[in-house]
Amino acid sequence: MVKINRVYTGGGDGGESSLVDGSRRKKSDPRFAVVGACDEVNSWLGMILAELQRLPDHEDGGERTNVQRVQTVLNETLVRVQNELFDLGAELACPPETLPEYMVLISEGQTDVLMQEMDAWLTALPPLTSFILPAGSPPIACMHVTRTVVRRLERTMVSLIDHEGEDAVRPLALVYVNRLSDWLFVMGRWVGMMLNEEEALWVPLGKRPAEKGIAHRVEQMQANDDDFEAL
């Protein structure tokens, strides 16, 4: 049982902090960058949960049952992954060879569940015909941000391996993080479908009309304001 009586200790005032094994390193150490990125991903999952609770469950006088379905499914799976990321963060806060024997680590089981959930969502989704722009309602936009932060976590883990050697990160931990970004992408598509949102598809430059920009719109608005004030 973890018991925390106070948050501040003063031990990090000099720019150092402790790893799980008790060793001290500078806060600029690549391992702390990995731990910080993992914590950031977890915090963004919390933002997704918060935005899900703000979805209106009624529209035009009718009940939006799909909102409740999305909230039920994602509340369960996101909280599970938040716990897994806390486990992962604790693991990454220490070289694998000095991990405490009592620590239970992320395994193939957690990665398999992510893939099973992706497969279930993909069954209901139409195939993609283009890349998707990172856009949508607040929950979906947060999912896009989160998946990009997961990719940054993955890059910092690879950088740590480059810095400390191949044994700096367990391969299964890296696989889990790689799957997590895909999982968030598919989740966002499924939520969009459930909420009847159209996906913002990327249109290649060669297929887009010549862009005039919005300067003329701003100028027209200003002209309209001037005409109104002249009345």
Q: Which amino acid is at 189?
A: R
pLDDT digit string, tens, across residues 112-146: 999 999 999 999 999 988 899 999 999 999 999 99
Q: What stretch of H or E contains 17?
A: strand 16-18
Helices within 125-170 (DSSP H only): 138-164
Question: For the chain, how far is it from start to end, CA to CA, in angstroms?
Answer: 73
- What pLDDT score was predicted for residue 76? 95
- What pLDDT score was predicted for residue 199? 87
Contact 188, 136 (CB under 8 A): yes
Q: pTM value?
A: 0.84
Quote the mean pLDDT of the chain: 86
Q: Does residue 12 carry a pLDDT above 70?
A: no
Contacts of 70 (CB under 8 A, 6+ apart): 52, 55, 191, 194, 195
CA-closest candidate to residue 185, choices 203, 199, 167, 196: 199
What are the domain boundaries of the chain?
Answer: 16-204
**Euclidean distance between CA atoms 71 and 75, whole angstroms:** 6
pLDDT digit string, tens, across residues 17-37: 555 555 666 666 778 899 999
What is the share, in percent, of the chain residues with pLDDT greater than 90? 55
**Euclidean distance between CA atoms 24 and 78, whole angstroms:** 32
pLDDT digit string, tens, across residues 46-55: 999 999 999 8
pLDDT digit string, tens, across residues 170-223: 999 999 999 999 999 999 999 999 999 988 888 888 888 888 888 888 888 888
90, two tokens: 């604790």
Q: Other CB atoms closer than 10 Å to residue 152's CB: what's the count?
A: 14
**Euclidean distance between CA atoms 219 and 88, whole angstroms:** 53
Give CATH superfamily name and number for 16-204. Answer: Cobalamin adenosyltransferase-like (1.20.1200.10)
Contact 169, 161 (CB under 8 A): yes
For 107, phi then psi, to 5°, come to -125, -175
Higher pLDDT, residue 12 or 88: 88
- What pLDDT score was predicted for residue 1? 53
List, as one string, the DSSP characters of 31-67: HHHHHHHHHHHHHHHHHHHHHHHTS-SEETTEE-HHH
pLDDT digit string, tens, across residues 65-93: 789 999 999 999 999 999 999 999 989 98
* SS3 call for 211: coil
* SS3 call for 25: strand
- What pLDDT score was predicted for residue 180? 97
**Segment 149-156 mean pLDDT:** 97
